[in-house]
Structure 1
Amino acid sequence: MTAATQHHPHANLVAEGVSLSFSGKPVLRDVSLAVVPGELHALIGPNGAGKSTLLAMLSGDRTPESGTVALAGKSLREWRFKDLARERAVLTQDNTVSFPFTAAQIVEMGRAPWQRTPAENEDDQAIAEAVAQTDVQHLLERTIPHLSGGERARVALARVLAQRAPILLLDEPTAALDLRHQEDVLRIARDRARAGDAVVVVLHDLNLAAAYADRITLLARGEISASGAPSDVLTAERVHEVYGQEVEIIERPGRPPLIVPLR
């Protein structure tokens, strides 16, 4: 048994020593990570640190050159696509849709993995719940090309939530959103984790990570710089070292710390 599985005996999605290069340039180097049910796990780090690549490996969309990613003890490469889609739902950064689907049709696509299964009976309830959570009811009849970037992002999230998979992998779900909807998305993610799902979120905003994550993994140059509780990972020294920006960490008893750039 390896260190990652020893540390998280209940982990059902585990990356072990994964590495990948693009055009000969290392993007990830020997990264191990366990995705644990009941935990909101934030991946943070500067641009180009390997966050989205790692998330794509955890989803099975990218295959590591070395190392393995396994779900329930079985390599992702051995999973049938439809079976995998029932286990994990993925929100990518790219929400472009070239066809004029309505928002309602996009959300309904989240139920595709459950066609011809008993869970098909939950379609209407799952869609209605996802639509309410993401505040897109008023957008359902509109076509995707006529939505703003933030509206498209919320519709894409509704599709992912409607899928009702026990593992949620979200790549920068707050990037195009206004302040209120950013908080909404992280609250939804945290609620899913509290209900027992495993949630991994790529974030740029260190304060959102500090406020909502149970665990933070900080990536730098394709390697894990630190992983643990937000207060352990987000120190002024480490943030300065990895991001090249001096910050002040303002501790607030009983509330998440604030990370403030020194200007």
Structure 2
Amino acid sequence: MSVPIVGRRFAVPEPLAPGELAIEASSVGVVIDGKRILHDVTLDARAGEVHALIGPNGAGKSTLLATITGDQTVTEGRITVAGRPLQAWSARELSRRRAVLLQHNDVFFPFTVQQVVEMGRAPWQRTELERDDDEAVAAAIAETDIARLSGRQVPSLSGGERARAALARVLAQRTGILLLDEPTAALDLRHQEDVLRLARDAAAAGDAVIVVLHDLNLAAAYADRISLLEQGRLVTTGSPAEVLTAERITEVYRYPVEVVTHPTSGALVILPIR
């Protein structure tokens, strides 16, 4: 699914079909400075689903996501994006196929929130989707509840406000694949729920979403599939009910928990035993 030049403009990549393979990591291993960070990890993400990556600190979640974004070179294995090897995509092509939200989104220059969100539309310059810029930016600002911040300079914002501005930029990009690294880390309760609801809505609209999460209850409530990592190895992948058992979470996180079903929503709830 290349993005060839047509005259002086660029063609738009075809959207993924429901259930189509969006991301595939096959037997991925990573060694950094002589230390093995990932061991033979295989997983995939499909259009229309939220796939959460969970695990204790140091499990390799962010490193795995970095291999998928292309920010971390794999030592073994391969990554494909929309059926093509990651290395076969140019930077411009990738910017139109997947959007990335990193853990750290520090902006030191005095850009306004509005300008930062508008940056998400840069990949679509000189394409037919350029006409959607204003609507995409306005929608992303509304969805992330930052309209009142649009004129503020980003360095003046709190950590949570910066995180929401960064998320708005990613949503405005409208690529069909969202790669989110701990998007709820700096957010209060309401905005944590809002972010995962937006991820869920994006998947319902046909996007493939991979999200790194620390909060097991958010993963249980919003993910279609969960991959659990421990010390750089994939423990298991499956539905929330398949992955989030009390025995498995107690073993991997080395702390006793119980897993109950919420009486109203039916969602799984993971409770530490204190």
**Shorter-chain TM band:** over 0.9
State the identity %: 60
The aligned amino acid for 2:110 is P
Give the SS at the match of 1:125: helix
Aligned AA (2:185): A
Gaps of 5+ in 1: 1-8
Aligned amino acid, residue 29 of structure 2:
S
Q: Name the aligned partner's letter for residue 200 of structure 2.
A: R
**2:126 alignment counterpart:** 116
Alignment partner of 1:26 out of 3, 16, 36: 36
How far, CA to CA, are the matches of 2:83 and 2:47 in structure 1?
A: 15
State the secondary structure of the residue aligned to 1:192.
helix
- RMSD of aligned residue pairs (Cα, Å): 1.2
Gaps of 5+ in 2: 1-18
Displacement after TM superposition at 1:13 (Å): 1.5
Whole-angstrom CA distance in 2 between matches of 1:12 and 1:190: 16
- Counterpart of 1:35 (choices 25, 40, 45) is 45
Q: Which residue of 2 aligns with 1:246?
A: 256
Structure 2 residue 85 is the aligned partner of structure 1 residue 75: yes
Provide Cα deviations, 1:137-196, integer angstroms capped at 9, x if missing partner.
000111111000000000000000000010000000000000000000000000110111
SS in 2 for 1:237: helix
Higher mean C-alpha displacement, 20-29 vs 247-256:
247-256
1:6 corresponds to = none
Match of 1:130 among 140, 161, 167: 140
Look up the equivalent residue of 1:260 and give its one-letter code.
Answer: L
> How does the TM-score come out when normalised to structure 2?
0.91
Residue 185 of structure 1 corresponds to 195
| Corresponding residue of 1:258 | 269
Letter in 2 for 1:130: A
How many residues align? The count is 256
Runs of 4+ aligned residues of structure 1 deviating over 6 Å after TM superposition are none
Task: Kindly report which structure 2 residues correspond to 1:186-225, keeping only aligned pairs within 5 A, or say none.
Answer: 186-225=196-235
Residues in 1 aligned to 2:206 and 2:107: alpha-carbon distance in whole angstroms: 31
Q: TM-score, normalised by structure 1?
A: 0.95
Q: 1:66 aligns with which of 76, 85, 93?
A: 76
The answer for the alignment partner of 2:103 in structure 1 is 93
Q: What is the CA–CA distance in structure 1 between the aligned matches of 2:238 and 2:26, rounded to whole Å?
A: 17
How far apart are residue 10 of structure 1 and its match?
A: 2.8
